[in-house]
Chains A and B, each alone.
Chain A
Amino acid sequence: ETGVTQSPTHLIKTRGQQVTLRCSSQSGHNTVSWYQQALGQGPQFIFQYYREEENGRGNFPPRFSGLQFPNYSSELNVNALELDDSALYLCASSRLAVSSYNEQFFGPGTRLTVL
């Protein structure tokens, strides 16, 4: 069983640029969530996709957008990058169930640096 993978591992961008981060979910999982983790803090929920539809969003501006594809892989897009967007971006996949609180499986993350 393949785990959650993310690409790229590291990325350096400048203010105002746009970035796309990619995530391949674990086999059999239909839900992908994205989190932003600033240095020294816990991960913060950005949004979640379930069966290609956004299924909840955290307190992030619209310049953070996403997609989920039929194979359940996902992209996180960030437009008009700001210095504060520098962080570790984590993708987590799970099998969303109706009646339980499911374990999420995290990828290794993409370290984004905005200069």
Chain B
Amino acid sequence: LAKTTQPISMDSYEGQEVNITCSHNNIATNDYITWYQQFPSQGPRFIIQGYKTKVTNEVASLFIPADRKSSTLSLPRVSLSDTAVYYCLVGGKAAGNKLTFGGGTRVLVKP
């Protein structure tokens, strides 16, 4: 399974855009890139998933360059409730849905 590297923590302010970059140099051809969000004492929650280029949904955008060795999760206009840990995961059919979490990025949104 491809290993991921992401910053340990990031601080931001309400209304700003937060961008979290994840490195996955050993990503395999059939691997997808998935981001989960976790609040304290809760289970992780799926945010977004992509394979290449750009994916956007109602909460975030995911940017994936052509070489797919990294990806960037973009959270537009964050609020205090976006304070959480964000995990970048890489895997695919071979992983059989066995998610491999790294340490995640702790995002603190300040007023």
Interface residues of A (CB under 8 A from B): 4, 31, 33, 35, 41-45, 48, 55-56, 58, 88, 90-92, 94, 96, 98-109, 111
Partner of B98, one of A42, A48, A98, A106: A48
For the complex, give the distance between the alpha carbons of A109 and B42 in Å. 7
Interface residues of B (CB under 8 A from A): 31-32, 34, 41-46, 49, 87, 91-93, 95-104
Is the beta-carbon distance between B92 and A101 smaller than 8 angstroms?
A: yes
Is the beta-carbon distance between B99 and A43 smaller than 8 angstroms?
A: yes
Interface residues of chain B: helix, strand, loop or mixed (majority):
loop
Closest partner residue, chain A, to B46 (CB atom) = A103
Is the beta-carbon distance between A42 and B96 smaller than 8 angstroms?
A: no
Is the beta-carbon distance between A100 and B43 smaller than 8 angstroms?
A: no
Is the beta-carbon distance between B103 and A42 smaller than 8 angstroms?
A: yes
B33 to chain A minimum Cβ distance, whole angstroms, is: 10
Once A55-B96, A106-B45, A107-B43 are accepted as A-B contacts, the answer to whether A101 and B103 lie under 8 Å apart by CB is no
Is the beta-carbon distance between B103 and A56 smaller than 8 angstroms?
A: no
